[in-house]
Amino acid sequence: MAEIEPYENALDAIPGAHPYPRTSRYHDAEIGIHRRPDGTEVRYTKRRLLPPVDQTGDPDLTQPHTVGAGERPDLLAQRYFGDPGQWWQIADANPVLDPRELTDEAGRVIDIPLAGGFPGGRGDRRV
């Protein structure tokens, strides 16, 4: 299981520090502010763009995984990242519209992001 720095949980508990926990796919998404005619501010999460498709399958950023019978994206995330909630990293690394497509066929080869290497993934801090 991945070790969490003590300060990460503390920051997640501070209201307004950031709207999403550090493990969320939206953590680094830009927050927009819309002003209504009455002056009320409405905050929203701007669109999160996926990494370019040409980076999927890059051996420096991903590793192949052959899907076995009964596997699911959340179970793979638990195996590879120690957190079933990180299934979205696997989905981002593969060009599918529905994450269930990743594991619906045994024998399919999918890309699993290497820790901290895939753009947009947890730990990626490249600008």
| Residue range 13-25, pLDDT digits in tens | 544 555 666 667 6
Tell me the residue ranges of DSSP E strands in the chain.
Answer: 31-35, 41-45, 62-66, 109-113
The pLDDT tens digits for 76-121 are: 999 999 989 889 889 988 888 788 999 999 999 999 998 755 554 4
Domains of the chain in sequence order? 6-45 (no CATH), 53-113 (3.10.350)
pLDDT for 125: 31
Which residue would you say has higher pLDDT here, 72 or 60?
72
- pTM surpassing 0.85? no
Phi, psi of 55, deg, nearest 5: -90, -10
**What does the alpha-carbon distance between residue 115 and residue 18 come to, in Å, rounded to a whole number?**
23
Amino acid present at 93: A
Q: How far apart are CA 38 and CA 27, in angstroms?
A: 29
Residue 45 pairs in a beta bridge with 31
What single-letter DSSP state applies at residue 84? G
How far is residue 93 from each of residues 98, 102, 124, measured CA to CA in Å? 13, 10, 13
